[in-house]
Amino acid sequence: MRIPEPLFVIINRAMRLLLRSPLHPLVSRSLMLISFKGRVTGRTYTTPVRYVRDGEKIRCYTSRDARWWPNLKHEPTVVLRIRGRDVRCSASVIDDDPATVRTLLASYLAEFPGDAVYHDVGLGKDRSPLPEHLDRAASHSIIVEATPLSDG
């Protein structure tokens, strides 16, 4: 079931509070906060996103229509709040290689099939993403990949 877009204003505010609180373990195994600078305003913005880890890399997935990710092309340094800790990272946007996006999106949706609706991907009877839907989704999905910075 897809949550109506206007509710995300309330949900995101609640998630920001929860992920910064001592109660973060309730949701922080799969949700994190990403903080970044606005390319026009220079202000810091923070948004909650679902994430997956792949070794040191931390990935989150969004739509080309989302307004926050283009900021990362201007200023790739972000702060991720993961499991109660702030981690400075260098972020990159993966959006120009549909084959890579498709492969990573398929892996993500295998782990979080409930998120398929947000990428317009249908699921088969076994709850796996439909291949033809993944092909289409790869052209309008964005992957943000963050790597921790060594601050030494």
Q: What is the pLDDT of residues 29-82, one digit of tens each?
A: 999 999 999 988 899 999 999 999 999 999 999 988 888 999 998 889 999 999
For 145, other C-beta atoms within 10 Å of its C-beta total 17
Domain range spanning residue 67? Answer: 7-148
Residue 23 Cα to chain centre, angstroms:
21
Is residue 91 situated within a structural domain?
yes
Is residue 2 situated within a structural domain?
no
Longest CA–CA span in the chain (Å) reads 49
Q: What is the pTM of this model?
A: 0.87
Q: What is the pLDDT of residues 9-38, one digit of tens each?
A: 888 899 999 999 999 999 999 999 999 999
What's 33's domain CATH number? 2.30.110.10
Q: Tell me which amino acid residue 152 is.
A: G
